[in-house]
Structure 1
């Protein structure tokens, strides 16, 4: 199975990268594509949903790569300042502290819409009614 997105797709949607980042991105794009294909086998070879799969895979990799190396594994940081009798503290929560690849609920919605799995309410008439 070919990956749903390339490093060029990711760079076009996010930012330029050096060769080390591009190599990591290529591996993550493959992993994200595999995750998506395992969860939604109907995506493989589905040209109608290809753009959505590309968009979702790039979003997954961007989330995973957005964690700085010095912040990996840190769920939150707190900083405090005090001056002239006033104090201020700030806590920063990391959205993805481990840099994990995951399919968000928004990603799920996009894929299921592209595959026609979310069609809303339906009605049925029972036989003999």
Structure 2
């Protein structure tokens, strides 16, 4: 189950052609697997909050955008340098293979690291426990 739709991605990035839409649909499903592995939702009967679902949609779109931002002409190229006379131009690509991945800050947000939480710890044993 994907957390975002192709329309969500387009509204956060740019319009996609039919081939890109098909690829985005697959990648949105794939990134949902990565998100669920990094930060599983609570099992029923607890329903995920609207905040959790919105965060998963936002991070899904960001990850798919990173993967799709690589052009076919530059796949596998990690850096590029051009020179003409005294002028030099150099590029380093952030995701040369177009990999689908989650950033460490995204995983922290998904897991709720840094959010205030409260809990109790029993300091005694109960009967039978």
TM-score by length of 2: 0.81
Match of 2:29 in 1: 30
Q: Distance in 2 between matches of 1:4 and 1:30?
A: 8
Match of 2:56 in 1: 53
Structure 2 unpaired stretches of 5+: 124-129
Deviation (angstroms), 1:8 = 0.6
Structure 1: 4+ residue segments shifted above 3 A: none
Q: Distance in 2 between matches of 1:119 and 1:14?
A: 29
Aligned length: 117
Structure 1 unpaired stretches of 5+: none
TM-score by length of 1: 0.81
Q: Distance in 1 between matches of 2:92 and 2:66?
A: 14
Q: Distance in 2 between matches of 1:69 and 1:92?
A: 16
Q: Distance in 2 between matches of 1:3 and 1:99?
A: 20
Q: Distance in 2 between matches of 1:27 and 1:47?
A: 25
Q: Flag the 1:64–1:24 CA change in 2: closer, same or farther, 3 A.
A: same
